[in-house]
């Protein structure tokens, strides 16, 4: 009789995925993240391992593409090519917003609407949603969460009843004057093992043994018997208590930590995506400001040339305006290239194709500024910060490891026991006819005195040092949280103040430039150029201050851990926003 259970003990990938999803849902409930509108627990998405094919068939020399210099060809560019037109075309192909085209005949910039190109309009909220699906950073964070859940499932499995089936076949013999008596033996052991919560383990086994002579085929030379065996061992001192479940306890707690880390990551990830989006909008606004200045400078250059031709200005004045026009064109080209690079990196963060054309929407996230004192903000952060809660609980882990290390200094005192119920030994084929009257048992206790605990004593000292270091780390993290939330709240006030000043500067410079244009016949071109530069600088400062204010509000919500993220990755507004 051979019992085969290996196939029946294996779970399908779908069943494992269901176990993972159930465990993650339970963990979300434990960490207070059970609101379906706010939680996006990772769900198992791994491929079936049988569908992952090995590449290269185990070769030790994978192919390398590295042609020699003589096999390469470099085509030199024509120095007479129209570089400006090509840069403009690159910008248009990448979706860079522009209202300017370059005349391919003269190379001069002319204001003309660029034909609309098919592009995907991406709002900030849509960026949040896309990042939740294809964002590589988020998917990696989800993988960390899933791996922590898998480690816990593995540990829980080790602490549940585990079923084993071992089958062994032996052939042996002994010679006498070239005559060999041979025999075959077949043993099948079906056993179930269970670890005890406070140390030790118990096991129940069914051992089935069959033996047959091979040299002479005779029915009386075949025997078969079986036995039920119950055994166990229990530590009473060293290794007894919670220390026996240390791996399981730590795996359970580590999953809670990972759940907090994942939720904290989702919040910081939203702020990071928003920062990138705001910076793109700021760069685009800078491009528009530069285009406005460039058109204004071109008009000034034309009027200056007309005044020089009329003899009302010296000829060198045309050099002032023409030089500034060229500098503005160069700056505009640089801004467009910077925007292209920012946009392509943003695509990589979102996990979309780098060749996909995107157009950003001006409809951004507007959040009110918080009204709260520094002390109240600090108290909120100290209570809500998930990463600080992790540091606090890891300090408890270090304290528990000290107790576990001290347990290693105790003597060993273990109890063991065994009961065996065989089949009738007088029958050649016992089958399943067990004979309790022929049962055998044994029990014992083993005491091992701690004569050499040098290594264990050193482990105690190391665990104490680790606890002290973890305690200092918790204090440092706590102080960092306090400094961070206070700084973020002050940054909101500073950003609001700087935005108000920047808007006033823009208005002042506009009025200054408008007054100079009304007196264009008496004002030197250089003065107008200076006013144009001041207006451009103030416009860029205003756009920067607006971006800083948006980022500051989000950063305050993140630093105080009051930021909440919906399941689809969008921002969940708090009551009162």
Strand partners, 420: 229, 440
Residue 277 C-alpha from the chain's centroid? 20
Of all helices (H) and strands (E), which one includes residue 181? strand 179-195
> Which tokens sit at 504?
């006033």
Nearest by Cα to 241 from 200, 273, 270, 213: 200
Asked if pLDDT for residue 36 goes beyond 80, the answer is no
Q: Which tens digit of pLDDT belongs to each residue from 257-267?
A: 999 999 999 99
The domains of the chain, with CATH numbers, are 13-17+20-25+84-147+252-390+474-572 (1.20.1600.10), 162-195+200-238+412-448 (no CATH)
pLDDT at 479: 97
Q: Read off the pLDDT band of 4 (50, 70, 90).
A: very low
- CB contact at 8 A, 415 and 236: yes
Residues 553, 571: Cα–Cα separation, whole Å: 13
pLDDT at 34: 52
Percent residues over pLDDT 70 in the chain: 85
Greater confidence (61 vs 505) lies with 505
Residues 129, 134: Cα–Cα separation, whole Å: 9
Q: Read off the pLDDT band of 12 (50, 70, 90).
A: low
Q: Read off the pLDDT band of 41 (50, 70, 90).
A: low
CB-based contacts of 223: which residues, under 8 Å, 6+ apart?
210, 211, 212, 428, 429
Q: Which tens digit of pLDDT belongs to each residue from 297-332?
A: 898 888 888 888 877 777 887 888 888 889 998 999
Asked if pLDDT for residue 14 goes beyond 50, the answer is yes
pLDDT at 441: 93
Strand partners, 169: 186
pLDDT at 429: 75
- Torsion sign over Cα 485, 486, 490, 491: negative
Asked if pLDDT for residue 424 goes beyond 90, the answer is no
Greater confidence (214 vs 149) lies with 149
Q: Which tens digit of pLDDT belongs to each residue from 158-172?
A: 999 999 999 999 888
pLDDT at 246: 94
pLDDT at 85: 73
CB-based contacts of 343: which residues, under 8 Å, 6+ apart?
94, 95, 96, 280, 358
Asked if pLDDT for residue 276 goes beyond 60, the answer is yes
User: Rounded to whole angstroms, what are the CA distances from 304 to 286, 309, 313, 525, 536?
Assistant: 26, 9, 8, 7, 21
Strand partners, 170: 185
Of all helices (H) and strands (E), which one includes residue 188? strand 179-195
SS3 content of the chain, % helix, strand, coil (to 5): 55, 15, 30
Q: Which tens digit of pLDDT belongs to each residue from 201-226?
A: 999 999 888 887 666 554 456 777 88
Count Cα neighbours of 311 within 13 Å in the Cβ-side half-sphere. Answer: 0
Residues 507, 369: Cα–Cα separation, whole Å: 24
Of all helices (H) and strands (E), which one includes residue 483? helix 454-518
pLDDT at 113: 43
- CB contact at 8 A, 333 and 286: no
Greater confidence (316 vs 149) lies with 149
pLDDT at 31: 80
Strand partners, 229: 205, 420
């Amino acid at each position: 009789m051979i019992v085969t259970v290996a196939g029946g003990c294996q779970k399908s990938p779908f069943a494992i995925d269901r176990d993972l999803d159930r465990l993650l849902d339970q963990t979300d409930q434990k960490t207070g993240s059970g609101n379906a509108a706010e939680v996006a627990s990772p769900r198992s998405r791994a491929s079936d391992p049988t569908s992952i094919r090995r590449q290269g068939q185990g070769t030790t020399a994978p192919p390398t593409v590295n042609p020699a210099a003589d096999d390469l060809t470099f085509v030199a560019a024509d120095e007479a090519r129209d570089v400006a037109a090509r840069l403009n075309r690159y910008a248009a192909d990448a979706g860079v917003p522009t209202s300017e085209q370059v005349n391919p005949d003269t190379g001069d910039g002319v204001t003309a609407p660029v034909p609309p190109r098919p592009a995907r309009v991406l709002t900030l909220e849509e960026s949040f949603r896309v990042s939740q699906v294809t964002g590589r950073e988020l998917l990696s964070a989800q993988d960390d969460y899933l791996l922590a859940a898998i480690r816990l499932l593995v540990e829980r499995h080790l602490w549940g009843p585990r079923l084993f089936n071992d089958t062994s076949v032996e052939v042996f013999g002994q010679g006498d004057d070239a005559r060999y008596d041979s025999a075959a033996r077949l043993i099948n052991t079906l056993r179930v093992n269970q670890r005890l919560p406070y140390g030790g383990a118990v096991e129940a086994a069914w051992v089935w043994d069959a033996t047959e002579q091979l040299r002479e085929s005779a029915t009386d030379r075949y025997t078969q018997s079986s036995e039920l065996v119950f055994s166990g061992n229990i530590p009473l001192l060293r290794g007894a208590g919670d220390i026996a479940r240390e791996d399981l306890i730590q795996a359970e707690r580590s999953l809670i930590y990972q759940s907090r880390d994942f939720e904290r990551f989702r919040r910081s990830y939203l702020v990071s995506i928003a920062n990138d989006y705001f910076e793109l909008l700021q760069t685009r606004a800078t491009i528009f400001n530069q285009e406005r200045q460039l058109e204004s400078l071109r008009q000034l250059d034309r009027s200056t040339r007309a005044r020089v031709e009329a003899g009302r200005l010296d000829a060198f004045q045309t050099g002032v305006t023409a030089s500034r026009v060229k500098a503005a064109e160069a700056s505009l080209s640089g801004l467009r290239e910077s925007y292209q690079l920012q946009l392509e990196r943003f695509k990589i963060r979102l996990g979309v194709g780098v060749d996909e054309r995107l157009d950003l929407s001006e409809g951004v996230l507007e959040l009110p500024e918080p009204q709260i004192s520094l002390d109240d903000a600090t108290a909120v952060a100290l209570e809500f910060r998930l990463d600080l809660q992790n540091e606090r609980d890891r300090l408890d882990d270090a304290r528990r490891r000290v107790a576990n290390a001290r347990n290693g200094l105790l003597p060993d005192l273990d109890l063991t026991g065994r009961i065996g119920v065989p089949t009738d030994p007088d029958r050649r084929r016992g089958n399943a006819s067990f004979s309790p009257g022929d049962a055998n048992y044994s029990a014992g206790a083993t005491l091992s005195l701690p004569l050499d605990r040098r290594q264990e004593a050193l482990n105690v000292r190391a665990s104490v040092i680790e606890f002290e270091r973890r305690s200092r780390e918790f204090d440092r993290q706590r102080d960092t949280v306090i400094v961070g939330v206070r700084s973020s709240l002050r940054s909101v006030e500073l950003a609001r103040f700087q935005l108000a000043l920047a808007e006033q500067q823009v208005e002042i410079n506009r009025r200054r430039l408008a007054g100079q244009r009304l007196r264009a016949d008496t004002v030197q071109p250089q003065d107008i150029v200076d006013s144009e530069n001041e207006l451009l600088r103030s416009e860029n400062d205003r756009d920067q201050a607006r971006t800083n204010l948006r980022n500051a509000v989000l950063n305050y919500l993140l630093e105080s851990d009051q930021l909440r993220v919906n399941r689809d990755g969008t921002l969940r507004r708090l009551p009162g926003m």
